Amino acid sequence: MKEENSKLVERFLKYVSIWTTSDDTTGRTPSTERQLDLARYLRDELMHLGLEDVSLDENGYVMATLPSNDKRIPTIGFIAHMDTAPDASGEHVKARIVRAFDGKDIVLNEAENIVLEAKAYPEILDYQGQDIIVTDGTTLLGADDKAGVAAIVSAMEYLIQHPEIKHGKIRVGFTPDEEIGEGPDHFDVAKFGADFAYTIDGGAIGELEYENFNAAKAKITFHGVNVHPGYGYKKMKNSQLIANRFMYLLPPDETPAHTQAYEGFFHLIGMQGSVEETVLNYIIRDHDREHFEARKACIEEMVAILNREYGEGTVEAEIKDQYYNMLEIMRDHEQVIDLAKEAMKAVGVTPKVQPIRGGTDGARLSFMNLPCPNIFTGGMNFHSRFEYLPIPSMEKAMEVVIQIAEMAK
């Protein structure tokens, strides 16, 4: 597969050069017009490769078909998202390949003294001797999820070029706005027409995930009263101080920095404030549905406490569920999970089953009658300027897609 792997890397480097950061403030789908730049590119590429039923709809969803060359019943789907996270810049990505990584710190940007240190990210030592793609330290890389997009497209190209590999009908789909929790909002499951699917959107090689967080977002608004500070006695009500009191009331050890594995958290992701009004934006996460509901109730109780203390209407909470744990659905589709495991083993990858401390498009799609576990891409340190991608891991992701297509019956 040497030639195919070279195309895979070339394809990935092209994708990350296209700016596709999503934005949860616009209220549109796709949330940013720039995502359509990649969507149009993929539409044209899939048509050029020879896939059928290639479409790009008004919301930025790309779908295509690789027809069956065998009399197999299941229609399999492979899905990845085109957007990158707003957590770090995705504009003007300058990717480069570190050949035969020697285990030493990687200087990403000498001028700005940005260094990918092995002591800070010890997992990178697992990839000594491998070629690794990194950034110049000023942006994220975009392996989340352009490595998944590249793996799927390259797998489809390989299957077209190797008709001796028998497979059923395959549907591919590329979505916008996954990073802001809106990827499946306009995903047409009926049009996609797959019996089951896989998102190629995981991290380290071998990851296979069919459990994820239950997720909600909360906007907490604090209303104050502003007067001249020299005359504020018993008149001023500083919304910022009330917001600080709210933060103090939440459990201090239930944050992302203090939790792991199946432990949930409250995560403050943004704050804007003045004396008159302060807004805190949280995300709420927990694998257990009862604990998840309890976390939302905790927010409401903190709001009630502060309203009793500062006056009714001082604090308001808007809580919106985002997605749920796909395990509730996947318990009834163990054969889909087993197929992924066997495909990994067939290409020499040890499956590493673990819960996602996050979510994928597949979480919501599973609740939309499309069972959809998540498979690795190989990328590491997602959403960060220290993101990197071991090339052999992405190659294995492509091989797993091909193997699933061949093994599914």
Please give the positions annotated as active site: 83, 178
| 192: enclosing H helix or E strand | helix 189-192
CA distances from 401 to 18, 72, 170, 197, 232 (A): 24, 17, 11, 11, 66
Q: Which residues pair with 279 in a beta bridge?
A: 221, 272
On whether the CB atoms of residues 183 and 215 are closer than 8 A, the answer is no
Any residues with CB less than 8 A from the CB of 297 and at least 6 apart, and which? none
Q: Which residues pair with 262 in a beta bridge?
A: none
What is the C-alpha separation between 158 and 162, in angstroms, rounded?
6
Any residues with CB less than 8 A from the CB of 66 and at least 6 apart, and which? 51, 52, 156, 159, 160, 167, 169, 170, 171, 172
CA distances from 193 to 16, 55, 58, 77, 190 (A): 29, 14, 19, 8, 5
Closest listed residue to residue 200, CA positions, set 97, 371, 85, 77: 77
First-to-final CA distance of the chain: 25
Say which DSSP state 122 is in: G
Tell the residue number behind the tokens 């792991």, with chain if given: 260
On whether the CB atoms of residues 377 and 393 are closer than 8 A, the answer is yes
